[in-house]
Amino acid sequence: MKIRKDDTVVVLSGRDKGAKGKILSVDPKAGKVIVEGVMVATVHQKPRRQGEEGGIIKRETPIYASKVMLICPKCGKPTRVGHDFADGKKSRACKKCGAKF
């Protein structure tokens, strides 16, 4: 996957279109990511241990990685991710400004 944990992304489609957030977790096998503040679902949680509180909580749910686009840390624009093989290492690069990250 070209998107990693702690990257800032923008949502391209769905009910949260245009929302920006940080990637909390990535599941490459399923091709899904969890973005902070995006696709928030209401979950009714039962207390499992003594002293733990139950109730209605809000939790982010996974969305497909193809529905998000990385925001370049240098130019601040949504961009596709390219790869650069300089110095014998593979690094990600912005397709718009060419910055490596």
Residues of the chain with CATH 2.30.30.30: 8-70
The per-residue pLDDT for range 67-78, each reduced to its tens digit, is 999 999 999 999
What is the CATH architecture of 8-70? Roll (2.30)
CA-wise closest residue to 68 among 15, 18, 5: 18
Question: 79-84: long-range contacts at Cβ-Cβ below 8 A with a sequence spacing of 24 or more?
Answer: 81/2, 81/3
Q: Average pLDDT of 67-96?
A: 91
**Is the pLDDT at 79 greater than 90, yes or no?**
yes
Cα distance between residue 24 and residue 36, in whole Å:
6
Cα distance between residue 36 and residue 51, in whole Å:
28
Quick one: what percent of the chain has pLDDT higher than 70? 100
